[in-house]
Amino acid sequence: MWGYVFQTKTFLGPEKVMKSLTEKMDDIQANLRISIQTIVTLKESYNSCKAEMGRVFKNGNAKNWDFPSHLVFSRLDTFLERLRNIEEIYSVSAEMYKLENVAIQGVRGGALGTSVCRIYEEFTEHVTLFAECKYDVFDTDDKRFEENNKLFLDKMIDFERRLGTVLCKAFDDCPSSESAVKLLVMYSFILDRPHVQAQLMPKYKELIGIFSAEMDNVKLVFDAQITTTGIGISTTRFGKNMPPVAGQLKWALELAERSQITLRDFREIPQLSMNTAEDKRLFQKYDEMTALLHQYRVDVYSEWTSRVDKDCQFNLKQPLLLRNKGNLSVNLNSQLVAVLREVKYLSIQGQVNIPECAADMFAHNKEFRKYVCNLELLVSRYNQIQSTVLPAEFPLIEEELKSIDIELAKAETIMLWNSEGVWDYIEQIGDMLRDFYRRINQAKANVDSMRVIMEEWSLTPMFERKDNKKDSLLDLEGRPAVLNKRYAAIRDSGPKLHTLLEENKALFGENHTTESWIRYVDYIDDKVLDGFIEAVRVSLEFLASSMHAMVLAPTNGTVPLFVQSGTAPLFAFALKLDDGKTSFNPCLSYGFIEMVDNLITDVYNAADLVPRISLTNTTSYQYELEEISELSEIYEDVMNEVREAVKEAKQYRDTLLSFDFLWREDMDEFMEQFLGKETAFEPEPRIPPTLEEFKEEIDKYENLYSEVSQLENSTLIMCWLQIDICPFKHSLLNTIKLWSLMFKQYLMDRVTNSLQDQERFNKEVIVGLTKTLHEGDYQGLIEVMGHLKRVKETQASIESMFEPLKETVELLMDYGQELPDEVHAKLEYLPEHWNKVKRTSLLVKQNVASLQAHEAVLIHTRCQEFETKLEEFSERFRQQSLFYFTCENPYEALTEAQTEIELMKEELTELKRFGGLFEVNVPDYKLLKACCKEISLLKELWDMISLVNRNMGEWKTTLWKNIDVEDMRMHITIFAKDIKVLDKEMRAWDAYSGLESMINNQLTSLQTVAELQNPALRHRHWLQLMVATKVRFEMSDKTTFGDLLKLNLHNFEEEVHNIVEKAVKESAMEAAMAKLESTWSNMAIKHAPHSATGTMLLGPNAELFETLEDSLVQLQTLMTSKYIYHVLEEVSGWQHTLFAVDSVLSVWFAVQHTYISLESIFIFSEDLCSQLP
């Protein structure tokens, strides 16, 4: 037996048997089956020979093989068992390797598929370890194979259980039997495994139930369809884009195939026995359902064949076209189309025995299709013309369209689908309509070309940003070139528009004279105008949309910024500071507004480049555009935005004017005020500033420089106007530096000059004091005393000077200002030189002490003489006429007095100078100061008197009728207020009293003049005024204000008031009498004839008696006035007359009433009638 084992090992190759588990399994697996089969055949041959051994020995002496077989085959059986184990490993591995190529779908397909992949990966890892074993697997004595094999099989059992669990979950997720069967078929290679099969066996029963339920559902669907639609034509769509009959047949076929396919796959599952009662009931349902569906298909098809011939014959006798509300349609009945479609789809389905008529019609399907296609094209062209023709175009094609309608009427009446010559007719009418359609379409294409040309005008705004970048400014420099280019394009489009219009004229076959063509040209003209409107709107809206802003909060506390997302500024201006004036470059106030207006005007001017197309309207397109309110509104909106932006730009500039003091203030004047020097505004000098104050000023400008440096270089106004303040900022920073440098330079100059002055002073004093004096050398003495005085006067300031100078130098060094080395050297040695000067002055002072005492006595004597002289002048000065209002030449007297005072002031100055030299105290002489003050006050007073006299002199020449009392009164009041604020010392002077009296008299006179201007004054009143003032004058148009002042009206204020009041009262009385006369001159007494006798009777008049009563009361009131004298006679006359009217009317009405009441008695009584006269 060893030979068989050896041959088998040689055949299989022990070194590659296990390695082939991960490589070529099929070859090794086949060889293993051959080897196993060979050994099995050997044993079977042995057993067969052993059984038939008696027949081999015919003589009866048979030698049977009665020894135990295991003694022969024990080793071979062990080897066979090993081969079978290896073959099982290969078999299981082959099934597990198939997991790589299958997948699970469904709700949990991802998770379950991942589990399968994990099982497969673990399997490959395990089988790879097994395949890499280092021992001989055919060595039955080596027990390692058995251990590894047991481990492998245990692992396979785990894989099978896990795989069974995954398949059960996937089965539960299957929505139908079809998907469940597919799952089982997909994993059928593993279903034979016992542990997998054990878990899936319950699922097989579930699958039978699912399939049975689905068969029931198919039956329900079929029954529902039969109940709803029956058999035959159905409105229900069974198949997408399929006709009804073919759709029903297809539906029934698909419903049958749905169950058939599932059942076929179901039967292919080898693990199902299909022998149970449930299985038999399932197949019975299937057979019944198949029979029902087959019969349904037979019934549907039979019903259709029974009526199809009739439908074909009826529909072929219909006209080719139908007209509905002016539109044509191909009269191809849906039944005819349905027949053709049914035949087509039935042929595809392989249906036989199609009815002859339907089959014949389907045979001519291409011919019908040609008819229909050409008719559809013809109809679509005709309907397109009808639907797209414009009111302006219709009159141009009306006649030709009528001739086409006549031809088309044949297709609507006599031309049938089965008529002879249908194709010839279709070609004829098609040719006619084709040319007409071509010309109409060409005309519309020309209009579209015109529209394209006009749309090019409005594709982009007339102005562009620089380099066409969205974040660039408007290209104002390149605007002329762009404008010329756009103008050229628009100018060139004019001839093109006219050429296209001429082409349309030829296409329509019209001439210039027809009314329809003129209206069509006007229509095109309107389109051109619309094109220009759109072009202008695009440009205007570009500006308008770019100018709409969104305001944000201030960024630096003072200046608001305006921004808009995605919008760049349009214009940019630079704010400059030149010669102390801020300005925008270019000019913003007027030039910018005019520039924007010119931009918009350029847009409008483009409309003048195209000649007017209209034959009736000769005005230019530009004139029409200017009348469009919509464009005007956008234009106004843009200009308002521009004006608002200009306003806000100026406001922004004004925010920067907070620094205007830097360039408006005069640096020299400011420095003088800062240094405390005497100025026109501050005549008294102030205390010089300290070094700390200098530091504060310098720090202020240094901080200001830092603040200005942090200003943004540019800002946006309303998001579209950019203001570049760099030029302004640089100029302002330079100005600030100049201010700072002014203070630094002053300090440097003060240090340098102070040291230089001190050095020069030291030298001069030393030279002056060391000069030798001779007896009688008065001028030399004066010079020496002057030097001593200078030393004495400057000692305190010089001794306190050096330390501040050192501090100043240190401060300048802190600000980076370097001083020459010479300055530092002088600060070191000049204090010692000053000490030398002080010592020299003390020695000299002791030497000239006797001479100084002698000169002091002489100075005291001169002071006494000056005091006497001053008293005499003061007494003479106060007796002059300057203090009296009657002074005739005040300014000459003022000049003389001022000259004397100046001479005395010069003499006093000389005395004080010598007193200072020789240390003699000279008095201030307050009497001289008093004289100086009085001469100044007199000058001020006489200036006021002169001003008042000059104004009053001008008023005196004003004519009476031109006197403006209120204006004069206002000026006089101002004069009165002005003199009240004069120095109170003047009020004791006669000149002041005279001025005050003149102003008061003038005010009083103006009051009386105002009253005399009353229009109620008559000539008699002026005569009364002359009597009161005892002044005679003639009142005329040449009377002046001066003439009235001669009346001294201020002395007759009460008399004038009484005369004016009397005139007003008399005027009122005259007006009342005139009204009374007007009332009664129009008053009439009503009368009417008696109804019976015809006698005229006075009628009742309540208005008359009421007016009479009011008039009598009014006259009685006038009679009691003290001013009645002038109208006494007229009032008395009216009073007498009205009393008479009242008496007469009273008697009349009494008699009339009595007569009327007694008339019947007298007339109808014969006795009384006989007694009447």
pLDDT in tens, 401-414: 787 777 777 777 77
pLDDT surpassing 50 at residue 564: no
Q: Is the pLDDT of residue 639 over 80?
A: yes
Would you say 174 and 180 are in contact if contact means Cβ atoms under 8 Å apart? yes
Show contacts of 55-60: CB within 8 Å, 24+ apart: none
Mean pLDDT of 654-673: 81
- Amino acid residing at 530: D
Contact present, 717 and 567 (Cβ < 8 Å): no
- Of residues 309 and 640, more confidently modeled: 640
**Structure letter (DSSP) for residue 814:** H
**Which residues on neighbouring strands pair with residue 741, listed in sequence order?**
none
Highest-scoring range by mean pLDDT, 6-15, 147-156, 726-735, 1116-1125: 726-735
Confidence label for 571 from pLDDT (cuts 50, 70 and 90): confident
pLDDT digits (tens, 9 = 90+) for 970-979: 877 888 888 8
Mean pLDDT taken over the chain:
74
Residue 175: is its pLDDT beyond 70?
Answer: no
Confidence of residue 1043 (pLDDT cuts 50, 70, 90): low
The pLDDT confidence band at residue 350, using thresholds 50, 70 and 90, is low
Q: 682-691, 704-713, 762-771, 944-953: which range is least confident on average?
A: 682-691
pLDDT surpasses 70 at 515:
yes
Mean pLDDT of 660-666: 79
Output the pLDDT for position 1036. 60
As given in the structure block, the two tokens for residue 964 are 């403006």
Residue 333 is predicted with a pLDDT of 52
Tell me the CA distances in angstroms from 209 to 544, 791, 1055, one per residue in order: 76, 138, 140
pLDDT of 552 reads: 38
Q: How far apart are CA 583 and CA 276, in angstroms?
A: 109
1046 has pLDDT over 80: no
Q: Report the candidate in 152, 132, 95, 120 with the shortest Cα–Cα distance to residue 17.
A: 132
H or E element at residue 201: helix 194-229
pLDDT over 50 at 563, yes or no: no
| Residue bearing the bigger pLDDT, 265 or 193 | 193
50: how many CB neighbours lie within 10 A of its CB?
13
| pTM of this structure | 0.44
Higher-scoring residue by pLDDT: 284, 439: 439
Question: 330 pLDDT exceeds 80?
Answer: no
Give me the residue label for tokens 């049975």: 212
pLDDT of residue 551: 38
Would you state the pLDDT for residue 879?
75
Distance CA 451, CA 444 (A): 10
Q: State which of 598-607, 877-886, 950-959 shows the largest mean pLDDT.
A: 598-607
Flag whether pLDDT at 562 surpasses 50: no
What is the spatial distance between Cα 734 and Cα 740, in angstroms, rounded to a whole number?
10
Tell me which of 124 and 553 has the higher pLDDT. Answer: 124
Q: What is the mean pLDDT of residues 551-560?
A: 40
Close Cβ partners of 869 (under 8 Å, ≥ 6 residues apart): 904
pLDDT tier at 594 (50, 70, 90 boundaries)? confident
Q: Are strands 721-724 and 1087-1089 parallel, antiparallel or unpaired?
A: unpaired
What's the CA gap between 200 and 191, in Å, rounded? 8
Could you tell me the two tokens for 56?
């081999």
Q: 584: which strand partners?
A: 575
Residues with Cβ < 8 Å from 191, sequence gap 6 or more?
184, 197, 200, 269, 270, 271
State yes or no: pLDDT of 364 exceeds 60. Answer: no
Query: Residues 880-915: pLDDT tens digits?
Result: 777 777 887 888 888 888 888 788 777 777 776 666
In the chain, % of residues over pLDDT 90: 0
Asked if residue 1053 has pLDDT above 70, the reply is no
Specify whether the backbone of 232 is left (phi greater than 0), alpha (psi in -120 to 50) or beta: left
Q: Using alpha carbons, select from 333, 223, 210 the residue that is nearest to residue 278.
A: 210
* Predicted pLDDT at 559: 39
**Predicted pLDDT of residue 1022:** 66
Structure tokens at 967: 């204006």
pLDDT in tens, 21-32: 666 677 777 777
Is residue 199 within 8 A of residue 165, CB to CB? The reply is: yes
In the chain, the amino acid numbered 537 is R
**Is the predicted pLDDT of residue 558 greater than 50, yes or no?**
no
pLDDT digits (tens, 9 = 90+) for 790-808: 777 677 777 777 888 888 8
Provide the pLDDT confidence category of residue 240 given band limits of 50, 70 and 90: low
pLDDT in tens, 725-782: 888 888 888 888 888 888 888 888 888 888 888 788 777 777 777 777 666 666 666 6
Q: Which residues pair with 581 in a beta bridge?
A: 578
pLDDT of residue 348: 56
Is residue 78 within 8 A of residue 140, CB to CB? The reply is yes
CA distance linking residue 1070 with residue 60, whole number of Å: 198
| Residue pointed to by tokens 């200017």 | 626
Separation of alpha carbons 1151 and 429, rounded Å: 115
